[in-house]
Amino acid sequence: MADTTPPIHVQATRLVLDIANGRHALSKAIPPLLLALDAVLCGLIMWKVPYTEIDWVAYMEQVAQFVSGERDYTKIKGGTGPLVYPAAHVYTYTGLYYLTDEGKDIFLAQQLFAILYLATLAVVMACYWKAKVPPYIFPLLILSKRLHSVFVLRCFNDCFATLFLWLAIYFFQKRLWTPGAILYSWGLGIKMSLLLVLPAVGVILFLGRGFGGSLRAAWIMAQLQIVIAVPFVADNAKGYLGRAFELSRQFFFKWTVNWRFVGEEKPFSIALLGLHVAGLVVFITTRWLNPAQRPLSSLVAPMLQGKSPFAGLEERQVASRVTPRYVLTTILSANVLGLLFARSLHYQFYAYLAWSTPYLLWRSGLPVVLVSLSAVTAVAAGCAAAGEGKPEEKVEEKEQ
């Protein structure tokens, strides 16, 4: 009888494809192996690439004033300008202030940010895994030169905001709505960039937790912002709100990596804002509300009356459709939509984009080769755009 066993090269190819597509037990080894590889890479970066001072010293100067007892936000300043981040930023960097000998031990700070990077990457991979993303996409998560730079060489507060964004996504995927809302609110308290995904977070909580539950989650998020602001609000409420939540703040156009070729014309900025709002409406009505299986018009009227638009059984059915993949797609699409229509972005905002790109490209349904090429091209383009200015010149950059 003829031997029907496939040739060894065919068996090997099938094994590789099964592992790459998550159909083999060894597929689970890919994320930890990539994490270990990236840990080595982070060590090599710290060893070989010089640290670049941009905002770390200013952060430490501002924290030193807080530690000394200053609570008036309008009086807290650093070398690059006034303190313009919410209270969670101050508390986070106060911890780093003490851990790094008042900010003097920069190499230790880099090590801490390398740990932060790896922890965030681990959470990102966990979110991808829960969304059933095939393992062949995972190597794209460690290819970004600029992302390593933002974390390990620059120590920006965007790194902490990114961690809490992804933690919130993971908890939402696990249907732990209240912890997820708290984590998101803390990240927002570090940097207001997370406002870009607030519409998506609101929709997810509404569909997954129900009308009443989403209102309670929103109140918890608001309470957290109030509690962490108390020391500053008690001293100068107007000053805190004006500095920490200055929605009209504009970034330095000189260092933008978004729409730079257009110029600084205000009409274009207004047009982008209008397009952002229009984009949100389109995504909400055609994508994000799909689990409700009802048009937006049928949901608004009951909510305006303070009532849930869903009956008890229907609410549970809708919640069951809020899957891990839906959560990840909704939040990342809101994030990219906000970044796309932002008038100007500094290169550290790449922290919010880099880990979103591979997933959204995969969800687009493009062939594997095109997804890989597009992701790598996006990484390279981001690095090139971000590297246009000399790092040492960015000391004057205050965003932020």
Q: What is the pLDDT of residues 20-76, one digit of tens each?
A: 888 888 899 999 999 999 999 999 999 999 998 989 999 999 999 999 999 999 999
In a domain, 15, yes or no: no
User: How many Å apart are CA 23 and CA 109, to the nearest integer?
Assistant: 40
Q: Which two tokens stand for residue 45?
A: 């970066």
Q: What local confidence, expressed as pLDDT, does residue 249 receive?
A: 53
**pLDDT higher than 60, residue 240:** yes
Which pLDDT tens digit goes with each residue over 243-272? 888 655 555 555 555 555 566 667 777 888
11 within domain boundaries: no
Q: In Å, how far are 30, 40, 64, 79, 137 from 53, measured between CA atoms?
A: 34, 23, 18, 12, 33
pLDDT, position 386: 39
Query: Is 240 inside any structural domain?
Result: yes
Can you give the pLDDT at residue 269? 73
- CB within 8 Å of 127: residues ≥ 6 apart: 166, 169, 170, 173, 324, 328
Beta bridge partners of 81: 78
Query: What average pLDDT score do residues 92-108 get?
Result: 97
What CA–CA distance (Å, rounded) separates 362 from 388?
Answer: 29
pLDDT (0 to 100) of residue 398: 39
In the predicted model, is pLDDT for residue 390 greater than 90?
Answer: no
The average pLDDT across 291-305 equals 89
> Can you list the pairs that 33-39 forms with residues at least 24 positions away whose Cβ atoms lie under 8 Å?
34/125, 34/138, 34/139, 34/141, 34/142, 35/118, 35/121, 35/122, 35/125, 37/142, 38/117, 38/118, 38/121, 38/142, 39/114, 39/118
Specify which residues 246 forms β-bridges with.
Answer: none
SS3 77: strand
What average pLDDT score do residues 125-148 get?
Answer: 94
Residue 94 falls within a domain, yes or no? yes
Read off the tokens for 300: 């608004």
pLDDT class of 236 with cuts at 50, 70, 90: very high
Instruction: Please give the pLDDT value at position 118.
Output: 98
Long-range pairs, 314-323, Cβ under 8 A, ≥24: 315/210, 315/211, 318/207, 318/291, 318/292, 318/293, 319/207, 319/208, 319/209, 319/210, 321/207, 321/290, 321/291, 321/293, 322/175, 322/204, 322/207, 322/208, 322/291
Q: Which pLDDT score, from 0 to 100, does residue 80 have?
A: 82
Mean pLDDT of 316-338: 96
Range among 143-147, 269-273, 340-344 with highest mean pLDDT value:
143-147
Q: Which residues contact 206 (CB under 8 A, 6 or more apart)?
A: 214
> What whole-number distance in Å separates Cα of residue 225 and Cα of residue 243?
14
Which amino acid, one-letter code, is at 14? R
What span, in angstroms and rounded, lies between the C-alpha atoms of 332 and 228? 27
Lowest mean per-residue pLDDT among 33-37, 299-303, 341-345: 341-345
pLDDT value, residue 247:
59
Report the domain count for the chain. 1
- Of these ranges, 2-11, 172-181, 266-275, the one predicted with the greatest mean pLDDT is 172-181
Average pLDDT over residues 263-292: 87
Q: What is the arithmetic mean of pLDDT over 349-375?
A: 78
Predicted structure pTM score? 0.89
Burial 9-45, CB ≥16 within 10 A → b, else e:
eeeeeeeeeebbebebeebeebbeebbeebeebbeeb
Compare 241 and 344 and report the one with higher pLDDT. Answer: 241
Residue range(s) defining the domain that contains residue 299: 27-396
Asked, for residue 12, whether it belongs to a domain, the answer is: no
pLDDT of residue 335: 95
- Mean pLDDT over all residues of the chain? 87
Instruction: Please indicate, yes or no, if residue 7 is contained in any of the structural domains.
Output: no
User: In which band, very low, low, confident or very high, does the pLDDT at 14 lie, cut at 50, 70 and 90?
Assistant: confident
For range 364-370, the mean pLDDT: 67
Which of 28-37, 175-184, 300-309, 386-395 shows the lowest mean pLDDT across its residues?
Answer: 386-395
- Alpha-carbon dihedral of residues 324, 342, 187, 46, nearest 10 degrees? 100
Q: Is the pLDDT of residue 371 over 70?
A: no
pLDDT score recorded for residue 255: 52
Q: Is the pLDDT of residue 85 over 80?
A: yes
Inside any domain, residue 129: yes
**Does a structural domain hold residue 6?**
no
The pLDDT of residue 260 is 59
The residue with greater pLDDT, 251 or 391, is 251
Measured in whole angstroms, how far is the alpha carbon of residue 304 from the centre of its chain? 31
At 73 the pLDDT is 93
